[in-house]
């Protein structure tokens, strides 16, 4: 099962998972009341907000079966902050904040046992560069939907 509050993500996920035994829901994680063997949070913790980190962890714990596993994938920061750069917040990553190791650890303390931690910074840099190259190569098709300012932000 996959859940998201994005209608576009639901549409795309349903399209890509067509014919697979996968259910995609347009639903807020906070209203889930089911039990799962595994919970994977992929790229959404950045949008939970630092005031809600503990509530998020408690909700995940309530959704897991006794022997369940939780994987948290997030972009993070080396320092604890409560805001991000205003340009990034406005134009790149609206309503986001990058959690620090300290903030994540504090939110999960007493709830989960941290068994593994991976930093994918150098790999992610390669991913971003490939995205940019694909973006530049596709700009001739995209330019009818986006303006030059949008292109400059990518650059």
Domain ranges of the chain: 33-119, 121-155
DSSP bridge partners of 2: 24
Q: What is the pLDDT at residue 3?
A: 96
Is residue 135 exposed (0-12), middle (13-18) or buried (19+ Cβ within 10 Å)?
middle
Structure tokens at 19: 């014919």
Distances (CA, A) of 147 to 20, 68, 93, 106: 37, 46, 18, 42
Q: What is the pLDDT at residue 84?
A: 81
Does the model's pTM come out above 0.85?
A: no
Q: What is the pLDDT at residue 95?
A: 78
Q: What is the pLDDT at residue 86?
A: 84
Q: What is the pLDDT at residue 124?
A: 82
Identify whether the C-beta of residue 75 lies closer than 8 Å to the C-beta of residue 128: no
Which parts of 1-155 are beta strand (E)? 2-4, 24-26, 36-42, 64-73
Gap between the Cα atoms of 119 and 58, Å rounded: 24
Q: Which pLDDT tens digits describe the chain residue by residue (155 residues)?
A: 999 999 999 999 999 999 999 999 999 999 999 999 999 999 899 999 889 999 999 999 999 999 999 999 998 888 998 888 888 778 777 778 889 999 999 999 999 999 999 888 778 888 889 999 999 999 999 999 999 988 988 88
């Amino acid at each position: 099962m996959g859940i998201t509050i994005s209608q576009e993500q639901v549409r795309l996920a349903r399209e890509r998972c067509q014919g697979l035994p996968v259910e995609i829901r347009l639903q807020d994680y906070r209203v889930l009341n089911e039990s799962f063997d595994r919970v994977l949070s992929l790229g959404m913790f950045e949008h939970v907000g630092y005031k809600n980190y503990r509530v998020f962890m408690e909700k995940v714990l309530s959704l897991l079966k006794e022997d369940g596993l939780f994987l948290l994938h997030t972009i993070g920061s080396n320092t604890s902050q409560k805001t991000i750069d205003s340009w990034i917040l406005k134009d790149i990553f609206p309503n986001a904040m990058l959690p620090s190791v300290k903030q994540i650890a504090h939110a999960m303390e007493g709830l989960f046992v941290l068994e593994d931690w991976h930093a994918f910074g150098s790999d992610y840099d390669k991913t971003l560069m490939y995205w940019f190259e694909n973006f530049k190569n596709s700009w001739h098709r995209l330019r009818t939907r986006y303006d030059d300012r949008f292109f400059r932000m990518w650059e």
